[in-house]
Amino acid sequence: MVLVPLAFWLRPEQGTTYQTPAWAVYIHLATVLPAVPLGAWVLWSRKGTPAHKAAGRIWALMMVITAIDSFWIRGMTGSIGPIHIFSVITLVSIPRGIWLARKGDIEGHIACMRGVYIGLIIAGAFALMPGRLLFTSLSG
């Protein structure tokens, strides 16, 4: 939870446009920043334990909130961009992964959730590219 105040320290509203409300950036950072280490823990921890299941539910919820919130974060043109493909994939893959786990297809569940995590890392790498809002916020 130390990461949540970091979202406010970054002051993303300095780089927002009229198409991107500051609240959307704050919500996005407050959910995505803890999702990175939590997702790593869930993926590499012992599977099926109560801790794995609880952390997985929290991670999945953070990812769904992040994906939905991302549609309020617009580019300089005011429209969504190619990076939002990751949001759509997340909104399809998280429920699918949960469904697969409940029906007993653990291999499918693992593949689904691993894919969402890899997408999170790729989207994060794109967000850190020069000219992007997060890069601008971090570099001043």
Question: pLDDT tens digits for 20-50?
Answer: 788 898 999 999 999 999 999 999 999 999 9
Per the prediction, the chain carries an average pLDDT of: 86
Average pLDDT rounded to a whole number, residues 48-72: 96
Place of tokens 């493909």: 85
pLDDT of residue 138: 72
Average pLDDT rounded to a whole number, residues 41-68: 97
Q: How many CB atoms lie within 10 A of CB 126?
A: 15
DSSP state of 91: H
Angle at CA of residue 92, ends 95 and 128, nearest 5°? 115
**pLDDT for 79 beyond 80:** no
Query: Residue 49: enclosing H or E segment and its boundaries?
Result: none
pLDDT of residue 14: 52
Quote the CA–CA distance of 63 and 138 in Å, as a whole number: 22
Q: Are 59 and 39 in contact (CB under 8 A)?
A: yes
Phi-psi region of 79 (alpha: psi -120 to 50; beta: other; left: phi over 0): beta
Average pLDDT rounded to a whole number, residues 105-128: 94
Quote the CA–CA distance of 43 and 14 in Å, as a whole number: 35
pLDDT of residue 55: 98
Return the SS3 of 131: coil
Higher pLDDT, 35 or 131: 35
Listed residue (62, 78, 80) closest to 70, CA to CA = 80
Tokens representing 86 are 């990751």
pLDDT of residue 130: 84
pLDDT of residue 2: 45
